[in-house]
Structure 1
Amino acid sequence: MLKKLLFVALAFSLTNCLVLNPVGATLDREKGSEAASRITDAAIKTDLVNSVVLVGRPIVSLYSLVAADIAKIESDKYYIKSDVDQCVTDIQGFKGFLLGSLVTNIISCQDLKTDGYITGDPFPTF
């Protein structure tokens, strides 16, 4: 009985990762479309604040509108939420206001990796 229980627990654990991770049902994952939206919003806000402070009127650059494409975000993949949060924080933070949203996006958001089935893309990394 104990062997069956351990087998069921192990099978559930493995299938839980294999089924829930691609669907995005784990806690620290974010769909690419949502990550792209957050990165674009952060770039637009940073551009607006920078332009108002420096020029005196709100201006949004074309680069902030395509910030998700610059960060190479694929909308059908999933990303680690803490990495996306760090990218957005960098764009909206001091680095974003000092360097601008484009340079900060290139520096901070280029290393966002897609989250694979278990822990890595496409296989787990340890």
Structure 2
Amino acid sequence: MLKKMILGALAFSLTNCLVLNPLGANLDREKGSVAAGRITDAAIQTDLINSTVLSGRATISILSLLAADIAKIESEKYYVKSDVDQCVEDITGFKGFVLGSLITNIISCQDLKTDGYVTGDPFPSF
């Protein structure tokens, strides 16, 4: 009985991954509108800190407000959360403070992958 339960759980787990991940129902995904907000917030934060350090006044550039558009984020799609996390980390990290939020956004956030058949690309990578 225990063997059947273990095999059943294993089969369900594998089926779950094989079915739900391509459909975009896995846990490591983030809606485009949320990802866009996080990237924009990171760019604004980096601009505020950089401008305060360099000129003594906190200012933001118009390009930091357009950070999600520069990263080509589509609000109705879903993105791999770990890729979005890395993008935000690059913008708010050392690279962002040295290169600025715009250049870091262009370098780090241009290859964000969408996730799932239903709401993402038709053929996600396995």
TM-score bucket of the superposed structures, by smaller chain: 0.7 to 0.9
Match of 1:123 in 2: 123
Unaligned runs of 5+ in 1: none
Match of 1:88 in 2: 88
Distance in 2 (alpha carbons) for counterparts of 1:99 and 1:51: 13
Query: What TM-score does the superposition give when structure 2 sets the normalisation length?
Result: 0.81
- 1:108 to partner: Cα distance: 0.3
- 1:52 to partner: Cα distance: 0.2
Distance in 2 (alpha carbons) for counterparts of 1:124 and 1:72: 18
SS in 1 for 2:69: helix
- 1:26 to partner: Cα distance: 2.4
Match of 1:77 in 2: 77
Task: Give the alignment's Cα RMSD to 1 decimal.
Answer: 2.7
1:32 aligns to 2:32 (yes or no): yes
CA contact (8 A) 2:32 2:79 kept: yes
Distance in 2 (alpha carbons) for counterparts of 1:82 and 1:122: 20
Query: What TM-score does the superposition give when structure 1 sets the normalisation length?
Result: 0.81
The residue type equivalent to 1:64 in the other structure is S
* Same amino acid, percent of matched pairs: 70
State how many pairs are aligned: 117
SS in 2 for 1:45: helix
Distance in 1 (alpha carbons) for counterparts of 2:85 and 2:22: 24
**Runs of 4 or more off by more than 2 Å in structure 1?**
12-19
Unaligned runs of 5+ in 2: none
Distance in 2 (alpha carbons) for counterparts of 1:51 and 1:124: 40
Please give the per-residue CA displacement for 1:29-80, whole angstroms capped at 9, x wherever unaligned: 0000000000000000000000000011001000000100000000000000
Distance in 1 (alpha carbons) for counterparts of 2:57 and 2:77: 37
